[in-house]
A = this chain, B = another copy of it.
Amino acid sequence: MSGKAIADRPEAEAPRRDRRAERRDATRAEILEAAWALAGEQGLTELSLRDLGDRVGMRAQSIYSYFDSKHAIYDAMFQESNEELLRRMQVVRDTAGTPNERFLLGARGFVEFALEDLSRCQLLFLRTLPGFEPSPEAYAPAVLVLELARERLAEIGITRPEMLDIWTALLSGIMQQQWANDPGGDRWKKLLDDVIAMYLAYAKKRKS
């Protein structure tokens, strides 16, 4: 239907800016930014569309022009954060040094990321949101993050799948306990190096 009209215009093949789409994306980003701010202030689960609307200067119902549902907002936040984590882990992968150094860097970077923001940690790793299941697209970067962890472990000779599962459980346990029993502190965070030493010693003994 629009094919002929476009072909008629000389500038059709040049990458024309879609101002409407740009504006829409900008508003979406603004809403997400406000959502993060509100989640940080009142808690992830306490986020309400009415508060969110107030924050961005529109009625709550108008948000539905930008997101299909509240869960869609959470989903976008989930994806956004996972992409940020993926970027950090890719930096680790591309860092010069020994495989062991990269493994350490990845472990510390991950824990630091997980302990930076409670709402983000709850959204990504702890299952705090009642009915929330991330969409496949939003989950995709998380799969890549796990793949990078597998690579870092393989680089230091740890390839058995069970050892990867143990590794994720170790990190998961540290961040869970840290947020649950000493939020903002470092009681479990500071044990990370000990846990890493424990894990590596065991992996060496098990020879994989």
Contact = CB atoms under 8 A, between A and B. Distances in A.
A115 to B, nearest CB: 13
Given A126-B176, A173-B176, A187 B165 contact: yes
Given A169-B170, A205-B201, A194 B130 contact: no
A168 interface: yes
Q: Is the interface of A mostly helix, strand, loop or mixed?
A: helix
B169 A188 contact: yes
Contacts of A179: 127
A-side interface size class = 20 to 34
Nearest to A126: B126
Contacts of A67: none
A199 B195 CA distance: 9
Contact of A169 (B126, B166, B173, B202): B173
A201 B199 CA distance: 10
